[in-house]
Structure formats: C-alpha cells, structure tokens
C-alpha cells in the first residue's frame, strides 16, 4: 500500500494528490467532479464537525434541514445571487419517466429557499432572531477538480440567521468569523488571518464578507471559511418583513456563514511533510498507534497482551488509540504507513521494552524517540499530544511569518508575488482597477483587509494615490 | 401559536399532521414531496443519530461519503435493483447551461455506486470485511407525501458491508438488526417486532430482509428499519471478487441496512396523545422546562433568579433544561405549548414555592404534580426522567399487546384486520397467493416472520394447507 511520495518541495500538487489518496482520505468518483470521502478523511471531517457544531450550539444556534431541490423561479429572485450561481447549478428535469413542470436546481447554497421560508416564520420582532444552521451537501459545476479543494459536490455547514437590527446581524457575522478562527487556530492548529474581503470578492448578495485565510506549505492562500453580512438584500428579495418594537414594518437583516470539507484540504496542506500527513491530535481519527514488535511466537503473545492492556488503559483515559497487530507487515512498514496517515504519536513496544518495563514514544512532529516507563505512559500521553498540537501550530505560524512580506512599491509587490510567493502586505487605494492590475500581472488577489479598517501606512503600492486600506495579497487556491 | 389539536382517536391522520406542524417539527417544502425539518424535529433526529452512530462505531464500523449522483449506466447493472428503483429516481440532465453526456441519477440508495468502488478496494480476504456507513440524503419520487413518513427527499444512514463468507455477512445483517431493535426499544421507548420479511417484501437485490416493525397508536404498522443480507448479488453485478484464504477467487458477500428520518414519525405516532407529542427523555431536545410563575415585578426578579439558578444546577448535572422566561405569555399557555412539544418534565416555580423552598414537578406521562424540596430537584431529576422513559415504553407495549391477536381461521383474520386492525398472528403456508389474497381483501400485509423459523402451530389460516411460518399481519404505512 505505501509507495513513495513525491517530494513536497519539488512537486507540491503531485505530493498533495498522492498524500490524500495513499493515506486513504479520498479518491475521485465516477461522475464529473465527484469524490469519495474515505473513512480516514471522513473521520477527520467528523471531528471538525463536532468542534464547529458544539460552538454553534454554545452560541445559541439550532440545526435544521431544508430541501435540496430549489424551484428555478424561486432561485431567481435575488439578482446578484442568480448571476453568481446560475452558471454552476445542476439541474433536475425528470422524476422517474415524467418530465417536471419546472426544472429544479440542486442547491449551490440555500439562501433562496431559506429566506423564502423565513417570510412565513417571521411576523414580529419577537420572532427574531432566527439562528439556524444546516449540515448538508451542495453542488456547483466545476471543470477542474481537486480532492477536497474543489469538487462539484461537497459537504459543508451553512448558517442562516435573521435579525431585527443591522447591528445585531453585523455582530453575528463577526461572532461566527470568530468561531471559525477559533476552530482553525485552536483545533486545527492552522494560523489564519481573520479579515474582510474587498467588494470584488464578496459573496453574491452580501454587503460584507468576512474570511479566514490560511497559508499552505506552497505559500499559496486558502480561503477556509466565510461569514457574510447580507444587509436586507435577501429579506427584500423574499419579502421577510416584520413589525418592529416601534410598531413599524421593516425588513429583517441577515447573515450566512459556511465552512466546507475544503478545510480538510487545508489541514493536509498546512501541516503535511515529505513523509505524509501530520494531523493535529484534536482531529486525528487515531491519536496514538501502538506497534507491537516481536520476532518469536512466544514474544508475540506477551507483547500483544501488553499492547492491548496499554490500549485499554489509554482508551480509558479518552485517548483515541489502536494496536496495529497485523501479522503480514513488519514494524518498519507500519511506522511508515502511520506516518503517512499522520497519526500524531506512535508507541513501540517490544520484548526488550517489556523487560525494562518501558515503552518508546515517538511523536510525528519532532520525530524524537523517548523511553518512558510503562506505568507513566497513560499519564504522559495527554502532554505529548498537546505538544504535537502546539508544535504544529508553531511550525505553521513560523512558516507563514517567514513568507509574509511588506511591499513598499509596485515593483516589489509584483516581483515578490511572482518570484517568492507568500503574502505581501501594503497600502491600497480601494480602487478595483488597482486590484485588477495586480491580478493581471501576478495572478494574486487581495486575500484580506483588516476586519476594522486601519491606517494604511502610506500611498497605494499600485497607483501611488492616497492609501485607504492595508491589503494582504496572495495567490490563492 | 398553540391552536386546538384534532382528537387522536377521532382523526388520527389530521392529528398527526397538526402535531408535527404545531410542535415545530416539520412543514412541507416547495418542490413536490419535499419537507423542511425544523429545529425541534431535527434535534430529535440528531439524538437518534448519536444513539445509532455510537453503536455503529462500537460494532467496528466507520463512516464515509459517496457521491450523490450516479451515472445511469452504473445504476443499471443489478437487474432487480433497477426494476425496483428506476421508476422513482430523480434525474439530473444539465450542469449550468450544458446538457450532460449521460444522465445522472440522484441516489435512491447507494448499493450501486458503493459496490462499484468496492471492486477496486477488495483484492484479497485480508481487505475484508469492509464495515462502512454513510449519513446522507436520498431521493425517491413520491406522489402522496406525509411529513417524515413518506417524502421525496429524506435523511438516513445506509450501512454497506462486504465479507469473505456468507455466514459472516449473515451475522452482520442480524447484528445491525439488533442495533436497530436496541435503539428503538431502549432509546426511543418503541416496542418492536424484530423479524424477517417474506420474499415479496424484500429489498430489491436482497436474499433476506430483516425488519423492525412498530405499532402506531392507530394500530397500523410502521416499518422502522431494515437490514438486508445481499448474498453475492451486488458482488456479481459489480465484480467484487477476491482471493480467499485458500487461494481461490470468490465473490464477496454483502449486507446493507438503513434507518431514516421516518423513525421520527414513529416516535410521534407511538407516544403522542391528544395534547401532543410525548418525547422519550433520551431523545428530547429539552428534557426539562422550568416555567417561572409570578404576578408582580418584585416576584418576577426573585422567581427568575431561582429558575436560572436551578437551570444551571440541572445543566451541570447533564440535564437538557431551559427556562421559559417569555414575558408575553401566561404560565398556562406555556404549559400547553411544552406539552404539545412533548417535553418530558415541567418544573413550576412561583413565589409560594420559593417561600416553601420547593418546586412542583409535573411529568408528561402521569401528569401528576409532585412537590419536591428545591434542594432535591437536581438529585431527583434523573429518576423522574427515567420513569418517563420507562412509562412511555410500558404504555406502548401494553397498547401493542392489547391490539395483537391470534387468528384461528381466515374469517377471523379477515374480519379482525378490517374491523379491529392491529396485528394478527397465525400460521402461513409460505405461498405468495395466500399473502395476495389477504392483501386484496384487507389491505394488510405480512409485516414480519420470526427471525428464525418456528413451528407455525397449525395449518395456513388462509388456505388450510400445511403451515410453514408463523406470520404477523397488519395494515402498514
């Protein structure tokens, strides 16, 4: 099963594909742009879901589920939204042998069907806020697909909230960006810029789009989650009006926010190395693998017994642990395979270890071998896992810092983006023409502006006119 | 919001629809046969998912996710399966403006796409068993829809396993039926018959279908979960062959098993009464609601404070609890609303209660009011919830027993099914002609045969020839 990976530094895209496939995370499906998320990849997604969902609920949200198929006429009520999504929608025209009276669109996102329902659900300010989320699949036609990063069907959560004031809705959009940042940083060990998108990069129908942007190991940017302040756009399009506390009729204010299986790709590309994945312990399907080592049948018995006993103790301490007792593979093969799959910690246990009442602990970040008394393994496990979690974050942060630069003029910005890649920060006048110029010459876009506007620190690095914003440029996935 | 429910005994279908809508569980969607599962209904489903998923994992299964769209040519490889599902499939013909080369079917179930992948994943007996499950949406065209019970799109889990021997696959199908029975009985408080389907009622492509059948409060049967032994049918159709441990090429043996959001309807129709839902505490989104009672502003302050303090204590003891502090409704209105929503336990807290250092606990099953010292509420809560859980099961079991009868001849079976409804048990010769005759005259079908064949106890109640099986007849949803 384990074959040689391409070197990450030599061919990053090939490395990515092979890591994802060989680790058992995902593979391509039959229909155009589809993927199969295999158990190892899906389990990582389940831990991410749990981390997000717990926080959604802690911030007062409830889950629900809207239909996947949206009548075409309903979809077409919000103008910008139609323009943004219609070229990408998958269309259902038949049920069994009979043609449908009206084509149905498979949801590319659910604002339309949800705001249409909110019109029925909201009459008074007392019915607000609505704080709802759904976990589901969505589809968008993609020509060039990459596992996790860009597929026609993907899994995500989409939060959709309605509020009685603009301030409350705006605060909600920021709160959910905070939740995303927290999960990225504290759970996935991914340092992110939590910022604001320029107008050109906003969600179709949004008045403000907030984003978390991460830097991958090839120095490219990956947008990893977005939270939108929708103003009253969808409320107007779908007639979600209510009687406010002054007795006046008003339109509701909205937000929507989403994180998708794309973020699993971010985990791979933020932490992986030439030997494969490196998984943050908090989302690793297996946190510790115990590899028994033996040469003789008599050793096999006592080593396996000790390994299973250690597994039970660790499992009792809420560690996700397994023993790799496969008979057909040698320990060295198993070490490589679990390194490829990114398991944070390996415990080696052989006859000599047992004679010395100890085990060897090897973590996936430092690679150091530590001999630990058997009786202390359970006690030290959380600490080692926590070190790995912190180590991955520190590594990724140092990498991002090394690859983030200040651009003092256009030549530097242009050459930096082309020659070095990474993030380039500098003042921007706020004009689309300057964004366009940078993109045309370098393929880079503005990934984020600070959440609250700051002093740009000088004139626009592109045109030299007065600076308005401090922008971070990068080439993105 | 609360209006009068139709009486359950007078118009069961109308009662069902109104309970589901007024309790905030679900409503119809826009596209034909679609539904919106609202927060109260979805939260119940989430607790059911948790109960099932924990048991799937404890029995060695892993989750994954296959694409929703299946190329038509792939779908058509297993003959019985095609015949069973093709009339019901939803068909995607376009992506954006371009017509697809081959139509894609929205999965009505995923055996075809999954067994096609298993062909790649399985080479040797060492690759088996595959023990996989996915949580997803599926679609089947339905003309007459009922919320939760029959909708074009529904949510479910579908387990798909592959094994190297028939015995192992058969044991798996039975194990998963056991899991379903356990969740129905122990978590949902629904007594079920865990039996086997006659050949006429098997899943298209299965060699044996196991079922859990529950009796609703109108004495009709609801099939609530099925587990199929697929033999080698799908392995042959999709060429899933492997080298067995004797070095011979063989086809893998399969199972599939599913429980859907339909089971939420079973919860409603098994436990509900004229006042609304009665939810088993283990799946109730809110297990205890605290209703503060006050007439004056000064009382309001101390009552709310005491209510919130009690809530925090209960919450700390892992009870799902909320305070209904809405100002615009009187306590009586709140009592009715929470009864309609089926919350298992209500705590009433007013100034007099506080003066007496006590609270009034009312449970949704007995309706009795118990005065409990405030200091003992947290301690007694688990006990009261457990009583409700047991009380609901006992109630449902007594109801099913009262409505289960022995049929000694065809006249009794026929008149019993038509006049009294319920389950009728008797010997059956095993011939389809006798099944057909009963269905034509009474609309009833054989809901289940014992998992292992038993002495039928006499000649066939329909034709009088030698009995082969003991059958349970009933009219089903």
Q: ipTM for the complex?
A: 0.96
Choose among A35, A36, A94: nearest Cβ to B91: A94
Q: Quick one: which H or E segment has residue B167?
A: helix B166-182
d(CA B250, CA B236): 10
Q: Answer whether B64 touches A (CB < 8 Å).
A: yes
Q: Answer whether B67 touches A (CB < 8 Å).
A: yes
Among B38, B28, B6, residue whose Cα is nearest residue B272: B6
Residue A2, pLDDT > 60, answer no
pLDDT digits (tens, 9 = 90+) for A289-323: 999 999 898 899 999 999 999 999 999 999 999 99
* Residues with Cβ within 8 Å of residue B462, at least 6 apart in sequence: B410, B413, B428, B429, B434, B437, B438
Neighbour-count burial for A307-342, b at 16+ CB within 10 Å, e otherwise: beebbebbeeeebbbbbbeeeeeebeebbebbbbbb
Going by pLDDT thresholds of 50, 70 and 90, the confidence category of residue B2 is: low
CB B165 within 8 A of CB B60: no
Chain B interface mutation, best of A1, A38, A43, A65, highest count of B Cβ atoms under 10 Å: A65
Query: What is chain B's mean pLDDT, rounded?
Result: 96
- On whether the pTM is more than 0.95, the answer is yes
d(CA B5, CA B17): 10
> At B286, phi and psi to the nearest 5?
-120, 125
| Percent with pLDDT over 90 in chain A | 93
CA–CA min distance B472, chain A (Å)? 33
Q: Which runs of consecutive H residues, i.e. helices, occur in B183-232?
A: none
Choose among A67, A86, A94: nearest Cβ to B31: A67
Q: Answer whether A131 touches B (CB < 8 Å).
A: no
d(CA A380, CA A370): 11
d(CA B201, CA A151): 38
Choose among A136, A141, A153: nearest Cβ to B96: A141
From chain A, pick out residues whose CB is under 8 angstroms from the CB of B34: 67, 69
Residue B44, pLDDT > 90, answer yes
Instruction: Look at residue A86 in the predicted model and tell me its pLDDT.
Output: 84
Residue A53, pLDDT > 70, answer yes
Sign of CA dihedral A151, A155, A160, A166: negative
Tokens of B30: 């826009």
The helix/strand/coil state of A288 is strand
Residue A331, pLDDT > 90, answer yes
Instruction: Look at residue A3 in the predicted model and tell me its pLDDT.
Output: 64
Among A77, A80, A229, A255, residue whose Cα is nearest residue A158: A255
- Restricting to A residues 419-438, those with a Cβ less than 8 Å away from any Cβ of B are none
Instruction: Look at residue A242 in the predicted model and tell me its pLDDT.
Output: 98
Instruction: Look at residue A267 in the predicted model and tell me its pLDDT.
Output: 98
Q: Quick one: which H or E segment has residue A27?
A: strand A26-28
Among A171, A166, A177, A161, residue whose Cα is nearest residue A128: A161
d(CA B205, CA B191): 28
CA distances from A449 to A472, B49, B321, B466 (A): 6, 41, 42, 82
Query: What is chain A's mean pLDDT, rounded?
Result: 96
Instruction: Look at residue B86 in the predicted model and tell me its pLDDT.
Output: 84
The helix/strand/coil state of B415 is helix
Q: If you average pLDDT over residues A458-462, what whole number do you get?
A: 97
Choose among A65, A106, A141: nearest Cβ to B42: A65
CA A279 from centre of chain = 13
Choose among B68, B88, B153: nearest Cβ to A67: B153
CA–CA min distance A71, chain B (Å)? 6
From chain A, pick out residues whose CB is under 8 angstroms from the CB of B30: 67, 70-71, 74, 113, 116
| Percent with pLDDT over 70 in chain A | 99
């Amino acid at each position: 099963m384990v074959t040689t990976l391409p070197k990450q530094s030599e061919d990053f895209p090939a490395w990515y594909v092979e890591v994802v496939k060989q680790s058992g995370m995902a593979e391509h499906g039959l229909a155009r742009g589809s993927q199969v998320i295999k158990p190892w990849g899906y389990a990582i997604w389940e831990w991410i879901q749990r981390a997000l969902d717990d926080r959604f609920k802690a911030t007062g949200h409830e889950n629900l589920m809207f239909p996947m198929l949206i009548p075409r006429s309903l979809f077409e009520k919000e103008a910008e939204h139609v323009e943004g999504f219609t070229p990408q929608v998958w269309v259902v025209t038949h049920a069994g042998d009979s043609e449908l009276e009206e084509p149905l669109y498979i949801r590319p996102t659910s604002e339309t069907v949800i705001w249409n329902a909110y019109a029925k659900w909201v009459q008074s300010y007392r019915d607000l806020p609505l704080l709802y989320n759904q976990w589901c699949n969505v589809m968008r036609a993609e020509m060039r697909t990459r596992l996790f990063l860009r597929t026609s069907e993907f899994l995500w959560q989409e939060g959709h909230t309605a509020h009685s004031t603009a301030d409350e809705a705006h605060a909600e959009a920021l709160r959910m960006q905070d939740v995303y940042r927290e999960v990225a940083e504290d759970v996935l060990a991914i340092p992110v810029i939590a910022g604001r998108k320029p107008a050109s990069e906003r969600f179709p129908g949004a008045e403000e789009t907030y984003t978390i942007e991460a830097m991958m190991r090839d120095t490219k940017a990956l947008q990893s989650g977005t939270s939108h302040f929708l103003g009253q756009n969808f409320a107007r399009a779908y007639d979600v009006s209510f009687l406010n506390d002054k007795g006046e009729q008003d339109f509701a204010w909205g937000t929507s926010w989403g994180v998708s299986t794309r973020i699993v790709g971010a985990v791979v590309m933020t932490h992986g190395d030439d030997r494969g994945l490196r998984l943050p312990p908090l989302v690793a399907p297996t946190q510790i693998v115990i590899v028994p080592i033996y040469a003789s049948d008599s050793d096999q018995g006592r080593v396996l017994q000790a390994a299973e006993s250690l597994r039970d103790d660790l499992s009792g301490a809420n560690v996700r642990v397994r023993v790799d007792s496969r008979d057909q593979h040698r320990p060295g093969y198993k070490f490589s395979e679990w390194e490829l799959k990114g398991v944070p910690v390996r415990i080696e246990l052989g006859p000599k270890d047992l004679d010395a009442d100890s085990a060897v602990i090897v973590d996936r970040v430092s690679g150091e071998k530590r001999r630990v008394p058997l009786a202390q393994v359970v006690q030290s496990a959380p600490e080692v896992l926590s070190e790995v979690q912190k180590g991955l974050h520190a590594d990724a942060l140092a990498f991002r810092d090394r690859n983030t630069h200040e651009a003092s003029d256009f030549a530097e910005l242009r050459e930096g983006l082309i020659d070095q890649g990474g993030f380039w920060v500098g003042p921007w006048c706020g004009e689309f023409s300057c964004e366009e110029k940078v993109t045309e010459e370098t393929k880079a876009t503005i990934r984020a502006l600070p959440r609250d506007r700051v002093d740009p620190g000088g004139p626009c690095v592109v045109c030299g006119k007065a600076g308005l914003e401090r922008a971070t440029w990068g080439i993105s996935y």
